[in-house]
Amino acid sequence: MRILHFVHNFPPEFRGGTELYVLNLARRQCRTGNEVLVVTGSARDDAGKDQQKELFEGVRVLRLFRRPEEVAYKIHPHYPRLSRASLEILRAFDPDLAHVHHWHHLSDDLVRLAKGDRFPVVLTLHDFFAVCPRFFRVKPGNEALCPSHESPGACFTCIREEHRLWPVDLVRDLYQRRLNLARELSAADFIYTFSRAVADFYGAIPWVHLKKVHVLPIGVLRPLARSKPTLDRARLRIVTWGGQAEVKGTHLLLEAASLPDLKGEVEVHVFGKIVDPDYRLRLERLARECGAVLHGFFPEAEKESLGARFDLAVFPTRAFETYSIVVDEALSMGLPVVATRPGAQSERVGEAGRVVPANDLGALADALRFFLDPEARLRAAQATERIRIGTMDGHWMKLAAVYGELVSRSRRRGRPRFLYCPPPPQGPARPDHWQRRSS
């Protein structure tokens, strides 16, 4: 099967959750005999070229660059040149199926471009970009989550201070953004996300008319060794890992560990790169206060040792997490977990940990106090054995069945003889906008 992925960025330029998911999915697809091409955008606008062919960990990549005159981020994310380039790539590669992961850095018509040429399209909702110009429906300043019932008009109030536009221009861009992305959601053949929390959140937004959003959990990238709990340590050894940004709430964990009754009773270790220099200084100051250790970047191979070295995993994110694979990793290693709500984290913890409100220092500290009791840790560790954690290989098998059904249905219908290419934004439509697919 020929599979074309669209994603906003890709390693080695950027290694976020979405990018790593696409990488690991594409690697499995290549390994099982499929021909895969990843079309990615870029945060760079100084490359001096429009596109670049790459090969990363065995995956073919075609990276599209913005030009200096094309702004890095727009409320209405439509880039006509990148849209035309995406259509040309679609027709040249001629995939059996297109899989759209994100529009950012590319353009807001990727699903419709593929559907216009009758390619089956799978759409993954990795975050809330389709319904939020700020990606995560987190309001600026107080970091409060924008509720699903909030009207689109609230976007104007939320982002007007971040984008210096005349009110009439801002309203126009917000309206066009909402219209275009709603059309994208309607055009996809199959939409999925990784958690019931995200599917329900999208379904509760009254102005979004979605087809059914399917839930396909990711699971761990590979099975991890399970460790037996160690109950005789002098202090509670706490670990957290992943990308360290302010929205992940690591500072709250260090602040909790600095409280008088917890200081000296807990030992905190933080693994993961801290990108923002200001946030790094903040964490370093808090780490000195509570005696925490900031390890920085660590290799994937080291992750499996965390289960034996620590007693409790804490992920105090302030965002509405759409999946949070670190929770699966901790549970699969037998570590009890402290996670936050709302979001996907709380779906899988159950009796194997505690779930606290996001951004609540007092509740987080109470959870740490709860696990000072060795018997509480033992019960939670035993509960992890009853939680079934899937794997990325199993995820791909389920997705492959979806791909196969869509491709089979597309072949039964057949492809059109003539294909429509949307006209550019300026000027009247010309006859050469109709093109014939080469046989």
> pLDDT tens for residues 407-421?
998 876 665 544 445
pLDDT at 12: 93
23 by Cβ neighbours in 10 Å (0-12 / 13-18 / 19+) ranks as: buried
pLDDT at 433: 34
Kindly state the DSSP code that residue 411 receives in the 8-state scheme: H
pLDDT at 434: 30
Q: How confident is the model at residue 373 (pLDDT cuts 50, 70, 90)?
A: very high
Domains of the chain: 2-219+394-436 (3.40.50.2000), 236-384 (3.40.50.2000)
Q: How confident is the model at residue 165 (pLDDT cuts 50, 70, 90)?
A: low
- Among 137, 147, 125, 321, residue whose Cα is nearest residue 211: 125
CA angle 314, 351, 16 (to 5 degrees): 35
Question: Mind spelling out the 3-state secondary structure of 220-234?
Answer: ECCCCCCCCCCCCCC
Kindly state the DSSP code that residue 171 receives in the 8-state scheme: H
* Mean residue pLDDT across the chain: 87
Residues 310-353 have pLDDT tens digits of 999 999 998 888 898 999 999 999 999 999 988 888 888 999 99
Other beta carbons within 10 angstroms of residue 248's beta carbon come to 23
Residues 236-267 have pLDDT tens digits of 999 999 888 888 999 999 999 999 999 989 99
Residues 166-178 have pLDDT tens digits of 677 777 788 888 8
pLDDT at 329: 94
Q: How far apart are CA 47 and CA 49, in angstroms?
A: 5
3-class SS of residue 90: helix
Q: How confident is the model at residue 430 (pLDDT cuts 50, 70, 90)?
A: very low
88 by Cβ neighbours in 10 Å (0-12 / 13-18 / 19+) ranks as: exposed
Other beta carbons within 10 angstroms of residue 256's beta carbon come to 26
- Please report the sign of the dihedral spanned by the C-alpha atoms of residue 324, residue 327, residue 329, residue 332: negative
pLDDT at 285: 96
Is the confidence at residue 151, as pLDDT, over 70? Answer: no
* Lowest mean pLDDT, pick from 40-54, 106-120, 374-388: 40-54
pLDDT at 141: 66
pLDDT at 415: 56
Residues 76-119 have pLDDT tens digits of 788 899 999 999 999 999 999 999 999 999 999 999 999 998 99
Of the two residues 58 and 211, the one the predictor is more confident about is: 58
3-class SS of residue 270: strand
